[in-house]
Structure 1
Amino acid sequence: MTDTAPAHDPSPLLSKQPPGGSETLARLKSHQGVLYTAALKHLEQSLPWYRALNPDERAALGLVAQKGIASFVGWYERPTSPQWVLNDVFGAAPTELTRSISLQRALQLIRTIVEVVENRVPELAAESEQIQLREAVLRYSREVAFAAADVYARAAESRGAWDSRLEALVVDAVLRGEDTDSLRSRFAAVGWKSQSGIHVMAGRAPDVASAHFVAELRRAALRYAHDCLVGIQGERLIVMLGGIRENGAAGFSRLAELFGDGPVVYGPRADSLRATTDSAQAAFAGLASADAWTQAPRPAAADDLWPERVINGDPLARRALVEHIYRPLEKAGNGLVQTLTSYLALGHSLEGTARQLFVHANTVRYRLKRVCELTGWDPLIPREAFVLQTALVVGRLEDSPPL
């Protein structure tokens, strides 16, 4: 018999298949149970992964095999009937199937069942009808293979859409600062494993932020981190990175290239899920203030934008300047605050500061070096001196008595 239907549309082949002989059909009907039992036994013997499944998973696959054999018998009896194999064979267990085994294993399952039926063709059909029965089995197995691929494609689309929604919910929960238990539950739902080394990047989303773009961004991020979540909120793009590797700094620069135009800011390292909210808030506060620093790098660290964030009314930056710069200098004593104040006020002049404080210039140098060691900010660098000066202003306002 000659196939005239196109390869992409196998359904016409079914309608052109001639009806089976009555004797062969009767044997098929009477041997359904035998075929089913033989198929399960063959699965146990030939597929090691099938033996490793739990009873519920094997039962789901057994149901698929049973329906496949029964559907084939019905089709062989009435090949012109409009049967839709997807519903006939997989309708009862598509979810269980896709959770239990991969598409490759599903096709192995189909191939094994086909082998069982083919091996029993001599028992099921007279010699004159055996070729016809073998052709019918092969054509029907192709239909089932198409149906299996369709099941997995639909499941993948559904799973991808659900994962994207779940990912967006996790990002939103972090930004809103949900309680730790709730955050832990949401992170677990998306397969997040990192408990430390978490950073949040924020910037403008590209004009066309398609699913392909998100997949590309995630692939790039996973080169530098163990976990990654991507969220798009209007024009904003948020990327959460967990378990940053040693080349994390290079990762920030690489990922910034995938953002849209404008500044990109990453928050400070968070070593707990709860602290992730602070990293996210710092990143967004930095993003809102980044335009004030025209020489800001891309991406910029949110902590490097402390002065601009304070001026823009960010309480996190104000507290950070006091806790990380002003208090350590005040506690260290030895005239560090006074020396730094004079140095900044006198236009970064070592000699002028030494004359005002009645000390040697080397003493000024030593004290400024101690400032850098205690705070991590070097007063000899103009930008970092601006950060230190802002910290002095904020710290003094913090200590000023209420009026």
Structure 2
Amino acid sequence: MEPRNRGAYPLSMSEDRPGTQGPRIRPARQPKASPETLARLKNHLGVLSTVALKHLDQSLPWYRGLRPEERAALGLVAQKGISSFVSWYERPQSPQWVLNDVFGAAPSELTRSISLQKALQLIRTIVEVVESQVPDIVPESEHQQLREAVLRYSREVAFAAADVYARAAESRGAWDSRLEALVVDAVLRGESPDALRSRIAAVGWKSQTDIRVMVGTAPEVAGAGFVGDLRRAAVRHTKDCLVGIQGDRLILMLGGMEDSESESVYTRLSEFFGPGPVVYGPPAPTLRDAAASAHAAFAGIAAARAWPQAPRPVAADDLWPERVMDGDDAARSSLVNNIYRPLEKAGNGLVETLASYLTLGHSLEGTARELFVHANTVRYRLKRVCDVTGWDPLIPREAFVLQTALVVGRLDADKEL
């Protein structure tokens, strides 16, 4: 067997040894800096910091556009980074110290002032400055060693910067989710729009009209990734979207949806809900009315099990009969105000014709004989019922809604007497 080629992995690999599995990683060692080099680096800290800040101002346009306090914070980070490099070059330590030593001087708002991309540009610029000053600081024999040290140090700082931004994004995302849930809860409780104004603006909500609420069960796995996917799917068809998860209940608040495509949007979004019925409330004309729409959707969820054949999703208004039987006063009022009273107001025997038609088993001829009119007259009046109420008595399900409206309407009229 030929001997292993040791030159293939000069720094990081060693040959296999008995009792080990595969090659073993050997950590790279950094040559120790000479006392003279360390002394010259410490003496040039002020020069390096000055040149670095000047170079930042010249080469990064966005740096010049920052507010004075933001520029001061970034300048402090740059100076601390150069100073910490000298300490690290003297005694290389674990990368964990970079996070506290370099970025500990920066305020928490720094991640909001500049993006991670800009932070990395800043690090690259400082590295370029230090590299350019190497020939003036150390003897030529140590140029390569110092440049490699700068590159290794810049890598650690870059990883530390990424860690700072990742933690800030995670914290901000968790806070945004909590704030979003609080806003949804406040809307459901019917808080005043004036009290909601600042909070709803903080989550980016802009719609003041045509607000809709969808309610259903939450899927078993409903983490941050799920919420993000749901929000991205919703904003393809709406201007605004808020997501609230309350226990096993998923609440979706939408704004700025076009009426012409609302049905298809509801159907697409219902795929994100867990098993069981999904109910959407009527469009709310204002933010103040969004609570009523949400209450209708919740009442529909509670009563939907009484209609096993209900579509998914289903409108809360399509569940008026079930909601009335479940004790929902809002559904009772809707049946009276949207069906019974308009029929009474229309006159021309519409209420009597509808009642006879429903009582006689949906028989046109039987209704005609009962009312002593022609069958075509019954057809005409039933068409008028559909025109006045929007519910067609020739469709069994809609006939059930109309019949429930007649029952609650008569009971309501008796109470008024």
Counterpart residue type for residue 178 of structure 1: E
User: 1:378-393 residue pairs with structure 2 within 5 A?
Assistant: 378-393=392-407
Identity %: 76
Counterparts of 1:294 and 1:344, CA distance in 2: 22
Within a 5 Å distance, the mapping from 1:4-403 to structure 2 comes to: 4=12, 16-80=29-93, 84-93=97-106, 95-245=108-258, 246-401=260-415
Taking structure 1 as the reference length, the TM-score comes to: 0.91
Q: Whole-Å Cα distance in 1 between the matches of residues 107 and 32 of structure 2?
A: 30
Write the distance in 1 (CA, Å) between the matches of 2:94 and 2:335: 77
Whole-angstrom CA distance in 2 between matches of 1:63 and 1:332 = 78
- Tell me which amino acid in the other structure corresponds to 1:195: Q
Q: Report the residue type matching 1:392 in the other structure.
A: L
Given that 1:175 and 1:281 are in contact with CA atoms closer than 8 Å, whether structure 2 keeps it comes out as: yes
Q: Is the 8 A contact 1:75 1:83 kept in 2?
A: no
- AA paired with 2:193? T
C-alpha deviations, 1:362-395, integer Å up to 9, x for none? 3322222222122111111111111111112212
- Structure 1 gap segments, 5+ residues each: 7-11
User: Which range is displaced more, 135-144 or 160-169?
Assistant: 160-169
* Contact in 2 for aligned 1:94/1:151 (Cα 8 Å): no
| Deviation at residue 336 of structure 1 after TM alignment | 2.0
Per mean C-alpha deviation after superposition, the further-off stretch among 108-117 and 213-222 is 213-222
**TM-score of the two chains, using structure 2 as the length reference:** 0.88
Partners of 1:304 and 1:155 lie apart in 2 by 46
Cα displacement (A) at 1:90 = 0.8
* Unaligned stretches of 5+ residues in structure 2: 1-9, 15-26
Aligned-pair Cα RMSD in Å: 2.3
Q: Secondary structure at the residue paired with 1:323? A: helix
Does the 8 Å CA contact 1:18/1:79 hold for their aligned counterparts? no
Q: Describe the superposition over 1:121-151 as per-residue Cα deviations: whole angstroms up to 9, x where unpaired.
A: 1122122222222111111101100101111
Number of residue equivalences = 396
Shift in Å, 1:299: 0.9
Q: CA deviation at 1:288?
A: 0.5
- 1:7-36 deviation line (CA, Å, top 9, x unaligned): xxxxx66xx434433333333223323222
C-alpha deviation, 1:3, in angstroms: 4.8
Cα displacement (A) at 1:168: 1.7
Q: Tell me which amino acid in the other structure corresponds to 2:297.
A: A
Cα separation, 2, equivalents of 1:392 and 1:27: 96
1:118 CA displacement: 0.9
Q: 1:76 to 1:401 in 2, by over 3 A?
A: closer
Maintained 8 Å contact 1:67/1:89: yes
| Other structure's SS at 2:201 match | helix
C-alpha distance in 2, partners of 1:241/1:82? Answer: 46
Give the Å deviation of 1:88: 0.8
